[in-house]
Chains A and B, each alone.
Chain A
């Protein structure tokens, strides 16, 4: 049995690996106030380049590390030059969304090249363990510790004594003033992305060797862990990121020691949420000071929404309503049912992200809550399916709002981090709370959709059911936006300080938005559960959260009709063009990138 010392060593080693990711995130955040969601993808790329080097080219270990660092740095430079530099004068949310798109593209490219199956990545080191005190340590542990400490020292010397290092520090503190000293900010960005990517890539390699396994799911996990460590240490604070990483490693390791492996991530995200709520500027910030400038306002691309005449909307609704009566294939109906379900989720997200400006990256959690509630109500308590779905919507509204409410005072990118973490927490609770959710086995045999005792089994009836529910939700949301409530939402989005000065209670309005949005998403999840008849903790994942965000941006943030148009476009177009399933996520990533670059206000404009 492992000793406490073993858990401590393990925690510190894993912490070292996180530190390599987190330091890069901190550097990038310091210089450009951007949370780089593509950092984990670079880590993934690093791991796979390492695999090619070790398994196919048989490079010796030092050469492997160099190859990975250089190749990853190149990827970082390309991301900076082509993905982010064109967005320099864009709205603040644009680079964040671009890094999400880039991470989708990179992950999918790796998956398409190497297949999603895990691969072994041998460490090339002798498999011996040395006894120290009550624990053991192996050569790979020492290597990881060595690489971590060496990188930290090199980085310290570089930032402290080199001219470029000074430029990086100066830019992080005052970008305009640095430019007035003659600092080329583009070069600084390049340097920072190159360094961050090299460290991230090497981190991926080391983790792959540590577990002797690499797979494409590593990417998101690495980004999440890096972000947790960075925020715990204080965003943009490089030494803080190292300490945050070690702390995270230890917390996870002790959590695993006490509760078991499946709790590892839960502890990481709980740590994040606690830090975000209690000390949003990190453990080492001197005070809970507010950010120097409002992070909302220019966050969303301002535009004049496209006016769609009422008759056109009526005609479109009519066409889609009578569509099942026309000779269309089952396949078309199936596709559109998916679009309507996604449309409900998009309605929810466009309200939360667009209208009130809280860009949620964990919206799939609301689907999951709705789905599980509705499934369990109908299975365990024999509640009629129609009522169970409404129950799912109410539960999503209540629980979702309760979970997010501690984060209401966060702004901008921090909201995105918090919602991402809450999304992960929900999924992990579902995985671990076996007595209620049946854990990893999932729930099967969920009764099919039914209404007033009649089972809806034909595609036509399911189509009508989901279409009507979506239209009703859309109409309600349209009414909401036209009322004074909608105006208050937008006021909070555009300037929360001014809104507060006019007596608006931010918490109350944010709650109302999440309650309404949570209900729509929960209903969507509930219907999905009865359609699929089987769900588990992975049915509603971060990929869907990002897909929903892409839909919402495609339609125009805050735009009700846009959300539905976006859903139909993103679900329908891949079908129309017969794009194979494995390329779809890649396409979504590319769509997101192109949108952010060329039409940040979406097809129909933001509202």
Chain B
């Protein structure tokens, strides 16, 4: 087993995951340095979303280790992992559709008990996402996709996480909102929150990421700094299913 570098906030080491007989991850190793944005790229059925589930404890790997701030997450339940300081912006946002926008955002602070600070953070979210101010008492399910993404991000920030994991944050959004979301991710990151995001849209993701990994049928086929990967022709090969050695 390789040891994760000491500055890694989150590290997956030699993770092997199975759904029944089918192997999803083959010796997957990923590390997210403190304060960085790390992006996991890959096409359909590459095992991206399962990586998210592994980090959040929704799926348990058969072997390997997942550490956060040096401590293993493997024995922990999802709520316990969230309490360690990881917040999630799930795929397709997954808001609580019948609860109000305010309730949704406050649900993000479920693990906290400091009422006054929570109220302050809610105000902070409204400066970060000004559009949500008029929507607070509306049903979350009635918002547009872009607005829902804002709520999901605000909800994740409310737990004051050290790291946010995002599953395809730009999926299904209009181009205008895509730019807005990427900008917000950068802002969040500049305030000291590490970000691990899963994306299909490589060119967009590489614009804001520090490092990136390319996942293909459960194996990391490419990794490095985002700047270097941006011009790498192998990115395209990975997406189009080209051979690993290409």
Contact = CB atoms under 8 A, between A and B. Distances in A.
Given A166-B103, A174-B94, A174-B96, A179 B58 contact: yes
A280 to B, nearest CB: 19
A167 interface: yes
A176 interface: yes
A404 to B, nearest CB: 33
B110 A166 contact: yes
A163 interface: yes
A174 B159 CA distance: 18
Contacts of B103: 166
B241 to A, nearest CB: 27
A181 B107 contact: yes
B223 interface: no
Contact of B107 (A170, A176, A184): A170
Interface in B218-239: none
Interface stretch (B9-17, B29-37, B74-82, B193-201): B74-82
Given A166-B107, A166-B110, A180 B82 contact: yes
Contacts of A184: 77, 79
A430 to B, nearest CB: 43
B206 interface: no
B108 interface: yes
The majority secondary structure among interface residues of chain A is helix
Nearest to A160: B103
Contacts of B77: 179, 184
Interface string B41-78: 00000000000000010100000000000000000011
A180 B78 contact: yes
A169 interface: yes
B219 to A, nearest CB: 26
19 contacts: A166-B99, A169-B98, A173-B96, A173-B97, A173-B98, A179-B56, A179-B78, A179-B82, A180-B78, A180-B82, A180-B90, A181-B82, A181-B107, A181-B111, A181-B155, A182-B83, A183-B79, A183-B110, A184-B77
- Nearest first, the 4 closest Cβ-Cβ pairs linking A and B are A182-B111, A182-B82, A177-B94, A179-B78
Contacts of B56: 179-180
Residue of A163, A167, A179 most packed against chain B (CB within 10 A): A179
A182 B94 contact: no
A183 B90 CA distance: 15
A129 B175 CA distance: 71
B167 to A, nearest CB: 10
A149 B90 CA distance: 39
Interface of A: 163, 166-167, 169-170, 173-174, 176-185
Nearest to A179: B78
Contacts of A181: 82, 107-108, 110-111, 155, 159
Nearest to B141: A173
Interface in B90-105: 90, 94-99, 103
B83 A176 contact: no
B88 interface: yes
A52 B110 CA distance: 42
A391 to B, nearest CB: 49
Contacts of A185: 79
Contacts of A169: 96, 98-99
A261 to B, nearest CB: 41
Contacts of B58: 176, 179
A601 to B, nearest CB: 16
Given A174-B95, A179-B56, A181-B155, 14 more contacts: A166-B99, A166-B107, A169-B98, A170-B96, A173-B97, A173-B98, A173-B99, A177-B94, A179-B79, A179-B82, A181-B82, A182-B79, A182-B159, A183-B110
Nearest to B57: A179
A176 B107 CA distance: 13
A163 B114 CA distance: 13
A544 B211 CA distance: 65
A157 to B, nearest CB: 15
Given A170-B107, A182-B159, A176 B94 contact: yes
Nearest to B103: A166
B99 A170 contact: yes
A174 B108 CA distance: 14
Contacts of B79: 179, 182-185
A185 to B, nearest CB: 8
Contacts of B159: 181-182
Residue of B82, B96, B97, B159 most packed against chain A (CB within 10 A): B96
Residue of A169, A173, A177, A182 most packed against chain B (CB within 10 A): A182
A169 B82 CA distance: 19
A183 B15 CA distance: 26
Nearest to B83: A182
Given A182-B110, A182-B159, A177 B82 contact: no
Nearest to A177: B94
A177 B96 contact: yes
B90 A176 contact: yes
Contacts of B87: 180
Contacts of A173: 96-99
Contacts of A163: 110
Residue of B78, B83, B88, B103 most packed against chain A (CB within 10 A): B78
Nearest to A185: B79
Residue of A163, A178, A180 most packed against chain B (CB within 10 A): A180
Nearest to A180: B88
B78 A177 contact: no
Contacts of B108: 181
Nearest to B155: A181
B61 to A, nearest CB: 16
